[in-house]
Structure 1
Amino acid sequence: MRTLSWARRSGFFSACQPLPMPSTTTSPLTAPASGKPWWRFPRDPVFQFYSRGTAINHFLRRRIRPLGIGVMIAIVIATGIAAGNTGRAVYLTFSTACSMVLVGLLALPFRRAKLTAVRDLPAHATAGQPLTYQIHLKNHRRRSPRRFELLETAPDPRPGRAQFRAAREPGEEQRNFFDRRLAWYRWNWLCESRLLFEGGRSAPVERLRAASGGTVAVTLVPRRRGLIRFNDLRVVLPDPIGLFQRCMKVPAPPATLAVLPRRYPLPRFELPGSARFQPGGEATSRHSGAAGEFTGLRDYQPGDPLRLIHWATWARVGKPVVKELEDTFFPRHGLILDTFPQPGDEDLFEDAVSVAASFVVAVDAHESLIDLMFIAGHERVVTAGQGIARAETLLEVLAGVESAAEEDFDLLARLVLRHADDLAGCLCVFSGWSESRARLLARLNRAGIETSALVVCREKPAAVPRCHFVRSSELAKDLLTLPREL
């Protein structure tokens, strides 16, 4: 009876009353207050699995060394063998491997470093060519860090959900239904193509003096043109056995590196058009020295440049006299870049940019002008040569050019035709071949502009007049077989 009276006073029976039944308009899996289910199925489980799995793999690979992977594989194998074998050698191998792993993990917290760094980057790099630069380190601890490496981490190459679903791996339609559905090969292809550089690891540094600094060289290979933003520098501190390593971020100011397009060697060639020339003068030729051959002397006229004054004659006759030089002439070529690749031909566009960069470097900018023309949201014309700008200016422009969202060859044709009177000829670099590109080429030739085309394609089609086809898979080889007169 006492127990029952205590239960009534404490409210035990009221707490044990059954819960009210949910209304017919509310799902039992829905919270009445928020109106949202308490559970949520992943919106895109395949993408989430690949994205998180890649992040975990990246995290582990930066902290487990190859020897550590081998030891853990040995533990797994020894465990499987020990299930049906009572030999001492198996258990000895298992215990030794486990002891090594335990010692390596326990030693990691004692591997410390407190560093700051400043990167000394060059002005440019080139896609596909190794780049070595210096990193200046400063140690802020009394103890000297020993046996460490520096590691530059590339920006995250994982694609977004929309890009993953919209992209198609080259040759994906030939894979089986299972591979097309899971799109594992597409994910690997996207991550590989979006990776900005390889390497980025320094040679092992044995010791950095306490409360002092030093310089460490880092080598990497840019994989593609564009800008690389460095903002994740790590110091790698391995354990004494070499199984695992501690990966700590090093404070360093963010830095940016411009990567120029890949270039290929070209044979000797002549660009289209050789009859039209532009007269040289002070407005277009700003190099030092005479603009042409010396023809005589004449009286000074207001506006004559001071560099043409003949000082010896002025001192002799008592009035200013200037040198008279013959006019110089130089050709002006148009380099037209196709920024309208078809869906799935983005790799051809990258190859077309590399081909255009190869011609920019090969053309003698001291003897001609080059007008780079393309459409990137709006009309773009960049001129180099004859003291106006260096060829590096065009390479920097090509390093950042992006493909256009919509095809508009009519706009590109009007851009070229506005400069027709100044051009000796044009070379078009196409990313693929189509009827719209053929019409552009014919339209420019009908307008009196001597124009030829260099087409980057997967397979060479039938021969077309004034067109030179190069295969993307054999780009370097096909470029060397170009005729002398393009």
Structure 2
Amino acid sequence: MQASAPVPTGTAASSRSTSFGRWLHGVYFRSSAAHDFIHRRLRPAGATLGILLVLAACLAIGHSRSSIYQLFSLSLAMIVISLPWTLLRRASLEALREVPRHATAGMPVRIAVRVRNLGARRLGRAWISESPPDPRPDLAEFTMLREPGEEERNRFDRTFAYFRWQWLMLRKRGFTGGLSPEEIQLKPGGKARVFLEITPLRRGVIRLHDLRVLLPDPLGLFQKCVPVKAPAATLMVLPRRYPLPLLELPGSAAFKVSGESNTNAIGTSGEFVGLRDYRPGDPLRQIHWKSWARTGRPIVKELEDTFYPRYGLVLDTLSTQHSDVSFEECVSVAASFAAELDTNQSLVDLMFIENEAHIATAGRGVERAEKLLEVLAGVTPVRSGDHKALARLVLRHSDDLSSCVVILNGWDDSRAELLRSLSRGGVVCVPFIIGHCPRPADAPGHWLESGHVGRDLLRLPSKI
């Protein structure tokens, strides 16, 4: 029988590292669940009393002072009274959330909850609480992503990656807050309207499905968490936005005839010039029905040719970094431009690559700017590839564009080639590059330092 070939040292080390990472993820995953279970039910006063009980028990060993035993007995008696009282509390509620259409990351938002008591007893000294979805990262996120600045930590912290786990938990946490400020008092069958304030921490869609009523004991040491019967709801969280100075984008306005085609349609706001006979291809909405009835032949209204600019908003979604901080800043910059561009007098085409080419248009006669923000709320980074597909997408629509705002996640040869391809295709580009200092000597356009993007945007000149 042939002896098996020895496993290469690198492969064995990689296998051990993978196994250790899987074991470490499992430990953190289960311990976080236990911590959340205890944190929900143990109030701050109960935690303080528990520490005092343990401290008194330790001090009582080898000492005969009666004050220590009195402290221990008092603490234990309070816990013995409070814990059964908490477990015996009951509540049966149904509720309906009234969620706003949009929220913005980092900005507080109020949610109204209509509550009804289904129980046969009066409910008092109770609070309504909404908890965020489970923020624990999966194994792939834990092993692939890195906490910003993790390379500067000591070897022990890098090996056990506890701070990375905490960073990922905070990064995936949907929102903070969610506790009703006032207690509710409900008679059997009674109804109430309760307001919760939450602060979304990240963009995207947050699913609200963990509404509970908190029932504390009279001493305020423990509380029981009883689920409330309520249909799940979703909250669309738009990206953070930075304030922008008054900017003038380059490029002349593209020639448009009002209402001529779907691609360039920006409404029928052109000034009325006169009437003429119908020609094949004229839109039906421009037919002048009274003149048709009077003359017996189709007559259309002739509108003055109008000029409206059409801007491209190009987002670089390629992110090969261990941390997506710069990518999130790119999305926020794109959202800032989408919100600030005057869509009443222009069209904006948002273009990016995510598995395939995507383009979303907003502006006069098409969609509101909120449409672009909703699209940006769901954008995810691409982990591999180049920028050739993005260049082809922009060049395919180059004839319609006055100019392009190109938001780049860093600077390298691939992104330099993207700008060269667009320039050769006749596209007027305004690059915004988000990266870390120092700025590369060959980086064109406007450099935005990661971590200080808002500061650098306010320093932009009026003509970019």
TM-score (norm 1): 0.85
How many angstroms does 1:405 deviate by?
3.4
With over 3 angstroms needed to count, the CA separation of the structure-2 counterparts of 1:412 and 1:285, relative to structure 1, is: closer
With over 3 angstroms needed to count, the CA separation of the structure-2 counterparts of 1:275 and 1:328, relative to structure 1, is: closer
Counterpart in the other structure of 2:117: 139
User: Matches of 1:430 and 1:377 in 2, distance apart?
Assistant: 18
1:301 aligns with 2:278: yes
Superposition pairs of residues 194-209 of structure 1, within 5 angstroms: 194-209=172-187
| Range 444-453 or range 200-209, more displaced | 200-209
- Gaps of at least 5 residues in structure 1 are 1-40
Superposition pairs of residues 198-277 of structure 1, within 5 angstroms: 198-277=176-255
User: Matches of 1:460 and 1:214 in 2, distance apart?
Assistant: 57
Superposition pairs of residues 108-123 of structure 1, within 5 angstroms: 108-123=86-101
Of the three residues 159, 170, 189, the one matched with 1:181 is 159
Q: Deviations over 1:395-448 (max 9, x none)?
A: 111111111232221111111111111111111101111121111112211221
Counterpart in the other structure of 1:479: 457
**Matched-pair identity in %:** 44
Superposition pairs of residues 1-12 of structure 1, within 5 angstroms: none
Q: Deviations over 1:125-167 (max 9, x none)?
A: 1111111111111111121211111121211111122332232
Q: Secondary structure at the match of 2:250?
A: coil
With over 3 angstroms needed to count, the CA separation of the structure-2 counterparts of 1:464 and 1:484, relative to structure 1, is: farther
How many angstroms does 1:463 deviate by?
5.1
Contact 1:81 1:90 in 2 (8 A): yes
Counterpart in the other structure of 1:94: 72
Q: Deviations over 1:444-478 (max 9, x none)?
A: 11221111210111224045564111122112111
1:64 aligns with 2:42: yes
Contact 2:253 2:310 in 1 (8 A): no
Of the three residues 430, 435, 445, the one matched with 1:452 is 430
How many angstroms does 1:248 deviate by?
1.1
How many angstroms does 1:103 deviate by?
1.0
With over 3 angstroms needed to count, the CA separation of the structure-2 counterparts of 1:142 and 1:329, relative to structure 1, is: same
Of the three residues 319, 335, 343, the one matched with 1:365 is 343
Contact 1:263 1:355 in 2 (8 A): yes
TM-score (norm 2): 0.89
Contact 2:338 2:369 in 1 (8 A): yes
User: Matches of 1:376 and 1:103 in 2, distance apart?
Assistant: 58
Alignment-mate amino acid for residue 401 of structure 1: V
How many angstroms does 1:206 deviate by?
3.6
Alignment-mate amino acid for residue 458 of structure 1: H
With over 3 angstroms needed to count, the CA separation of the structure-2 counterparts of 1:317 and 1:55, relative to structure 1, is: closer
User: Matches of 2:196 and 2:56 in 1, distance apart?
Assistant: 39
Alignment-mate amino acid for residue 126 of structure 1: T
Q: Secondary structure at the match of 1:469?
A: strand
Alignment-mate amino acid for residue 80 of structure 1: C
Superposition pairs of residues 426-441 of structure 1, within 5 angstroms: 426-441=404-419
How many angstroms does 1:338 deviate by?
0.2
Q: Deviations over 1:291-344 (max 9, x none)?
A: 22343x334537565667496x99999998765431111011111100101222
Counterpart in the other structure of 2:102: 124
With over 3 angstroms needed to count, the CA separation of the structure-2 counterparts of 1:301 and 1:99, relative to structure 1, is: same
User: Matches of 1:164 and 1:369 in 2, distance apart?
Assistant: 41
Whichever of the two has the greater Rg, that structure is 1
Counterpart in the other structure of 1:33: none
Contact 1:151 1:235 in 2 (8 A): yes
RMSD, matched Cα: 2.5
Q: Secondary structure at the match of 1:438?
A: helix
Counterpart in the other structure of 1:395: 373
User: Matches of 2:243 and 2:164 in 1, distance apart?
Assistant: 32
With over 3 angstroms needed to count, the CA separation of the structure-2 counterparts of 1:144 and 1:314, relative to structure 1, is: same
Alignment-mate amino acid for residue 47 of structure 1: H
User: Matches of 2:299 and 2:398 in 1, distance apart?
Assistant: 39
With over 3 angstroms needed to count, the CA separation of the structure-2 counterparts of 1:431 and 1:306, relative to structure 1, is: closer
User: Matches of 2:154 and 2:111 in 1, distance apart?
Assistant: 45
Contact 2:411 2:443 in 1 (8 A): no
With over 3 angstroms needed to count, the CA separation of the structure-2 counterparts of 1:324 and 1:49, relative to structure 1, is: closer
How many angstroms does 1:110 deviate by?
2.7
Q: Secondary structure at the match of 1:62?
A: helix
Of the three residues 430, 439, 451, the one matched with 1:461 is 439
Of the three residues 125, 131, 134, the one matched with 1:156 is 134
Contact 1:441 1:452 in 2 (8 A): no
| Range 253-262 or range 76-85, more displaced | 76-85
**Paired positions, count:** 442
Counterpart in the other structure of 1:49: 27
1:327 aligns with 2:311: no
Contact 1:279 1:330 in 2 (8 A): no
Contact 1:281 1:327 in 2 (8 A): no
Of the three residues 280, 305, 308, the one matched with 2:258 is 280
| Range 429-438 or range 77-86, more displaced | 77-86
Alignment-mate amino acid for residue 59 of structure 2: I
With over 3 angstroms needed to count, the CA separation of the structure-2 counterparts of 1:422 and 1:319, relative to structure 1, is: closer
